[in-house]
Amino acid sequence: MRVRPQLLTLIGMTLLPLATLGLVAAALAALSPQSSPLASPLILTLGQSRAADAALAAVSPDLEAAALASLRAIDHTPYDSSSRLRLAYIDSLDGGLSPQGLEHLETSYALLPLDQYVATWRVGFALEHWGDLTPELRKKVEAEAFAFLGTSRRREMLATLEAVDSPTGIVPAIFWRERLKRPRRP
């Protein structure tokens, strides 16, 4: 039995849009916790992040609620670098980074060595806590800073370097800015 090319074209023109529509419907159902029998990890993580951000933004920040929401986000999505940074930030509010806060910062770099969404904040945060960082982590911070100093985000990163207040972090920040002024060797 031989199938005519017009018939194959007709079948393809009918099935392809239906298959596409089915995939779009499935994706929307996965993103909408109200219509999906299984909650999407993406929505759960975003929801936890919003809850954590709201707890931190309150007039009287609820650090415990922010930390719990961040931990829930990490439970759902272990690669959530922003939640780990939030936990490091919460940890630092007493004046320094504990080993646990330092671990969250290190893990954020292990997960995403260059993170376009938090690079300027993370470099600034790391420089403010420079004395608590390991030599390996300092190298990662420097690599991220210089990677973004070579992009359209250069001004943001320079502003971050200029805003450092920490006595230990200001030294590398000044050194890095000065290093940018030197001509590159071939």
- Predicted local distance difference test score (pLDDT) of residue 4: 63
CA distance 19 to 108: 38
What pLDDT score does 12 carry?
52
78-93 residues labelled b (16+ CB within 10 A) or e (exposed): eebbbbbbbbbbbbbe
Cα(161)–Cα(172) distance, integer angstroms: 9
**Low-confidence spans in the chain with pLDDT less than 70:** 1-53, 55-56, 58-59, 183-186
How confident is the model at residue 184, as a pLDDT? 63
Residue count of the chain: 186
Q: How many CB atoms lie within 10 A of CB 115?
A: 18
Q: What is the pTM of this model?
A: 0.69
- Is 100:91 a contact under the CB 8 Å cutoff? yes
d(C-alpha 14, C-alpha 8), whole Å: 10
- Output the pLDDT for position 113: 94
* pLDDT for the residue numbered 61: 72
